[in-house]
Structure 1
Amino acid sequence: MPLAMPLGVLVALLFGVMVWLLPALKVTAAVIGVAAVLTIIRRPLRGLLLFGVLATFLPYATVQIGIRTTVSEALLMLIWASLLAHRLFALHTAAVPLLRTERWLIALMLFSALPFVVGQLSVHVEGNGPINWVRWLFNLSPLFLVPRLLREAQAREQMVVAILFGTLLMLLLSIPVYLKEGNSTAIISVIGGLGYSNLDTLNQGLSGLSTRMGTPWTHPNIAGGAMAMLLPLAFCIGLTRQGVVRHLGLAVALLALAGLLLTGSRGALVSLVLVMGWMARRRVPHVGRLLIAGAIFGMLLLMFYPPLQERLIGLFSSNDASTAVRFEEYSHFPDALKMFPLGIGFKVDPPVPGTGLWGISNLWLNYAYKLGIPGMLVYIGVTVAWWREARLPDDRVTLNRDTALWLGSRVGVLAALLSGAFDHYFSFTTVLIALFWLLLGLNLYEARRLQTAAHALAPDARENP
């Protein structure tokens, strides 16, 4: 490129001045950072793969880029900037037609501008609505990165390996720390040295959940939701691949099951059992055995792990505090709709301070809380469009090497949606929803590939009955 020589000279001069004025360690870190940024700009797929690792391993490690944001979100911003640069310099010009699900999501993104403006004017509390809104939009954007960066089967396979590898690192960090210390706050001292901020607030939030396993996801329910979403994918990949990838998938599946029980996330556990039961009913190989093994492992853990006993007994207790709070939230939810019919926007998360309102632990109602009833209906339209568009001919459910990614991602997204009946974390929780939309995009385009292959074989089947 004509700019290569002057740009190289400018960078050399810049680092020469830095070596002269700054300590060697800072200069080395700056060189590594610049090299990483330039690599991602040149090869945005590598940035997305790095996002898959970091978003599952250290999802809330932060970085200062003018505003304080997570490294995972900064990577998404950099990936989109690199795609824009490729577009401007004619390095990436292929047009990408939009599927119906993507059009519905764009409608949701456009509609969110109205609750954003209304919330800025009607919610009279401190909050940075514009930045929160932009961050939320970027967390939805991985759905649109799939057809741009993961069109090839090899790239999608690499993406799955990156996600599973990051999940394995997270579990290998969290489970030993919890088993050694026996409380949720033990993880804080570890992740504090890995780029996490607001540790005092995090310590206060986890102090009331001391018997449940802490993870880099910061809240046990968020961690449980992430594991319920990714465990089916790990299971399907582990059963159908060979070599290192097979071991990776099976290790993540087994450790995620243990981690899910240790976090005590009842909603995530119930949703996972429901989707695994659906898979067993559709005769997906080995799922029944996995359910039996999980039940045996759960009973053993119940015998020797009292905190899990308390959590599961709470499912059937009328005196369980979290269950009582959820019923209170449902009873007060109509008051929130009356006060904010178009939602509270993005200044703060529910409940709005000073209003006397309650929050809501439900995925779809949280959309209504933030974006109003119309926003919730558009979101339902997105999920219905995905369910219909990502179905295979005759609604068949088989597990083999060709369908493993489709089935694992479909069941994982379904588990996330089912957990929405108990928790709201897959609505506006940063990084977690980015993984959700990435997984949904992988499922959508795997379904499109399988549908195309089935249509191509159909004429041959008619000619050779």
Structure 2
Amino acid sequence: MPIAMPIGLIFGLAFGVLIWLLPASKVLLVAAGVASIVTVIRQPIRGLLLFCVIGAFIPYSTVQIGIRTTVSEALIMLTWASYLFQAMFFEQTAVPKMMRTERLLLALMLFSAFPFLIGQVTVVAEGNGPINWVRWLFNLSILFLVPRLLQDRKNLEHLVIAVLVGTLMLLVLSIPTYVINGSASAITPVLAIMGYGGLDVLGQSLLSLSSRMGSPWLHPNVAGGAMAMILPLAFCFGITRSGGARSLGLMVAALGGIGLLLTGSRGALFSLLAIMLWMARRRIPYLGRLLVGGGIAGMLLLMFYPPLQDRLLTLFGDDDTSTAIRFLEYTHFPQAMATFPFGIGFKTDPPVLGYTQFGISNLWLNFIYKLGLPGMLLFIAVTWSWWKEVRPESDRIILTHDNAIGMGCMIGVLAALFSGLFDHYFSFTSVLIALFWLFVGISLHETRRLRASPANTTHSPIASPDLGTSR
């Protein structure tokens, strides 16, 4: 008897009982969840594609799987389980030899066990250290899925489209909600429908950020950082494609720029502008036009949108609270280092109630806060090794259909690292760091592929010498 028949009978009986006991809406959700799990188990790449859509659209929608976690992180776990299950019973494509950056990241993950144990013993605070540590490790592990699931160019294209579709959905939800209501907290009821928890606390925290756009990323600075990282990929992908893919990329780039301004994240805005100037210096096509057009659009938005005026004027005012807090954080950081020389681990996030008063809004110093000085040095080693692998070999970058994805991911990671001078969100923020390390992995392996077979590079008309200069 074919195995499909008894399995079908079992599922039919199970859902029949569920329909009898539960409301139809919940049964449909259960059916959709089971169908998704079966699909991912059959093809692990679909789990990664689902992660990209959901992680970019509703990153903190939660699910109960024995522990409370986000749907995005649950999909990473399911993708790994599916890949390992497939590897046990079916022959898999050979995985390339680990690169130096991957080995260093693995060393960072292994080292994190030491501050994790130290924090469990020495830090008295509420929180589930083991669960937080495992979730962080899974977020980083997505880099190792890149050589296992994205060697096929078609899969890579689909993954980029999934990220852009999820980002577009987030922007289409967030921008109108904010423009119509004029408050960051206006999106809270929508997030409740999407399975977000702790909305009472979230609503209170967003009241102090009411002049800035709210989004499924919760904090406007986190949303700004996500936009700064994804926009370069959307731009590079859009100008080197045609048809629907081109429209998708350019639409995400345009709406993402507007969304970034509305979040009021100065660190993300500065980082993106700095990276765009670097791109223009490397003569990436149309960057000059984009900078001029973006400058004009930004000036018009600044002229006719008072909340943005108020946000930018705080740069030059004497009552810039966020900047004052950052100075206090830096002033008190040596005290935090002396209190926790080996880091606080994963039980809680800075500041630690009863020990310190301030966290730290800096990517690298936050690694010291959580993992100690060796943890920060390992992170620097990983990112420096990555840059040595992916940095362009010449001053002039010729953007082509073949290298656009790798180039967009590389520029996005640079923007994320630059924003680390002002914020810490790319160190231990769930889901956002998974996207960060996914971009690191894609840029790393795309660079290796392109350098291994330069003769096979397919040039797009965008790469012609006449269009290669910035205007």
Q: Is TM (by shorter chain) over 0.5?
A: yes
Cα-to-partner distance string for 1:427-460 (whole Å, 9 max, x where unaligned): 0000100010111111111101111123889xxx
Determine the structure 2 residue equivalent to 1:345: 345
Work out the CA distance in 1 between the residues paired with 2:198 and 2:256. 27
Determine the structure 1 residue equivalent to 2:147: 147
Q: Give 1:23 shift.
A: 3.9
- The 8 Å contact of residues 283 and 396 in structure 2, kept in 1 or not, is answered as no
Residue correspondence of structure 1 range 219-230 to structure 2 within 5 A: 219-230=219-230
- The 8 Å contact of residues 40 and 82 in structure 2, kept in 1 or not, is answered as yes
Q: Give 1:392 shift.
A: 4.2
Q: Give 1:96 shift.
A: 4.0
Work out the CA distance in 2 between the residues paired with 1:9 and 1:93. 34
Q: TM-score, normalised by structure 1?
A: 0.95
**2:312 pairs with 1:312:** yes
**2:400 pairs with 1:404:** no
**2:261 pairs with 1:244:** no
Distance 1:64 1:295, change over 3 A: same
- The 8 Å contact of residues 393 and 451 in structure 1, kept in 2 or not, is answered as no
Q: Give 1:104 shift.
A: 0.7
Q: Partner letter of residue 74 of structure 1?
A: A
Work out the CA distance in 1 between the residues paired with 2:327 and 2:28. 54
Work out the CA distance in 2 between the residues paired with 1:312 and 1:98. 45
Residue correspondence of structure 1 range 350-429 to structure 2 within 5 A: 350-394=350-394, 396-429=396-429
Determine the structure 2 residue equivalent to 1:15: 15
Unaligned 5+ segments in structure 2 are: 458-471
Work out the CA distance in 1 between the residues paired with 2:27 and 2:268. 45
Determine the structure 1 residue equivalent to 2:284: 284
Q: Indicate the RMSD between aligned Cα atoms, in angstroms.
A: 1.7
Work out the CA distance in 2 between the residues paired with 1:396 and 1:4. 56
**2:69 pairs with 1:69:** yes
Residue correspondence of structure 1 range 79-94 to structure 2 within 5 A: 79-92=79-92, 94=94
Work out the CA distance in 2 between the residues paired with 1:203 and 1:44. 37
- The 8 Å contact of residues 83 and 92 in structure 1, kept in 2 or not, is answered as no
Cα-to-partner distance string for 1:314-357 (whole Å, 9 max, x where unaligned): 22334311111101100100001111011000010001001133
- The 8 Å contact of residues 238 and 245 in structure 2, kept in 1 or not, is answered as yes
- The 8 Å contact of residues 367 and 427 in structure 2, kept in 1 or not, is answered as yes
Number of residue equivalences: 457
Q: Give the 3-state SS of the residue equivalent to 2:69 in structure 1.
A: strand
Determine the structure 1 residue equivalent to 2:206: 206
- The 8 Å contact of residues 177 and 186 in structure 2, kept in 1 or not, is answered as yes
Determine the structure 2 residue equivalent to 1:231: 231
Work out the CA distance in 1 between the residues paired with 2:82 and 2:436. 22
Distance 1:325 1:21, change over 3 A: closer
Work out the CA distance in 1 between the residues paired with 2:439 and 2:395. 20
Work out the CA distance in 2 between the residues paired with 1:237 and 1:93. 27
Work out the CA distance in 1 between the residues paired with 2:251 and 2:456. 36
Q: Partner letter of residue 346 of structure 1?
A: F
Work out the CA distance in 1 between the residues paired with 2:106 and 2:75. 21
Q: Partner letter of residue 231 of structure 1?
A: L
Unaligned 5+ segments in structure 1 are: 458-465
Determine the structure 2 residue equivalent to 1:450: 450
Q: Partner letter of residue 78 of structure 2?
A: L
Q: Partner letter of residue 227 of structure 2?
A: M
Cα-to-partner distance string for 1:93-136 (whole Å, 9 max, x where unaligned): 63442111111110000000000000000101111000000010
Work out the CA distance in 2 between the residues paired with 1:182 and 1:19. 42
Q: Give the 3-state SS of the residue equivalent to 1:358 in structure 2.
A: coil
Q: Partner letter of residue 188 of structure 2?
A: I
Q: Give 1:24 shift.
A: 3.8
Residue correspondence of structure 1 range 152-301 to structure 2 within 5 A: 152-301=152-301
